[in-house]
Chain A
Amino acid sequence: DAKTTQPPSMDCAEGRAANLPCNHSTISGNEYVYWYRQIHSQGPQYIIHGLKNNETNEMASLIITEDRKSSTLILPHATLRDTAVYYCTGNQFYFGTGTSLTVIP
């Protein structure tokens, strides 16, 4: 299974962009990168996914490096409700420990 590495925690000022990195150096060529987030006492919620190209949806943007060994999730204008644990997965079945993002007022 593709393992992922993420920083354990990050802070971001409200209204600023939050950039969450993920290393997935063992990902195989046809595995998608998925991002989920988990707010306290809830199940994980899907955010975005991609294979090679950068992706954007109403929630976030995903930047994947050309070698596909890492990616960055971008929340363009972080709000207090974005405070959560963010997981990137290489195959959707290995979640790792994620990054705890705290948005500060």
Chain B
Amino acid sequence: EAGVAQSPRYKIIEKRQSVAFWCNPISGHATLYWYQQILGQGPKLLIQFQNNGVVDDSQLPKDRFSAERLKGVDSTLKIQPAKLEDSAVYLCASSLRGKGPRGGPLTKNIQYFGAGTRLSVL
């Protein structure tokens, strides 16, 4: 079974530039997540998609970050314009399902993570 694919693996940009990351989840996984992981910290959820709809984007800085999941498969995360504090690893994960009805947890909802994209903003 192929895992979650992310590209690029590394990206270096200057502040105020734009950048985009791509994620291809595991085939058949309805739910896709984007996380930001700053050095020394755990992953922080930015946005969760269920198929092609947004379930949770409460921690996404919407003034500069955007994400889409067209056709409910691949997803892109964009930053425009980038700031120095955006330097981090951006992780994509997928699972068979996400939050249950009314936001409750599901019995078995293992997340499978990609290797991430390491972004350096200079």
Chain A contacts to B: CB under 8 angstroms = 30-32, 34, 36, 41-46, 49, 85, 87, 91-98
Contacts and interface: CB of A to CB of B under 8 A. Distances in A.
Contacts of B93: 43-44
27 contacts: A30-B104, A30-B105, A31-B105, A32-B105, A32-B107, A36-B111, A42-B113, A42-B115, A42-B116, A43-B93, A43-B114, A43-B116, A44-B111, A44-B113, A46-B110, A49-B108, A49-B110, A87-B42, A91-B105, A93-B48, A94-B45, A95-B42, A95-B44, A96-B42, A97-B40, A97-B41, A97-B42
Given A31-B105, A32-B105, A95 B43 contact: yes
Contacts, number: 48
B105 A43 contact: no
Nearest to A4: B42
Q: Range of interface residues on chain B? A: 20 to 34
Contacts of B44: 95
Contacts of A34: 110
Given A31-B105, A43-B4, A98 B42 contact: yes
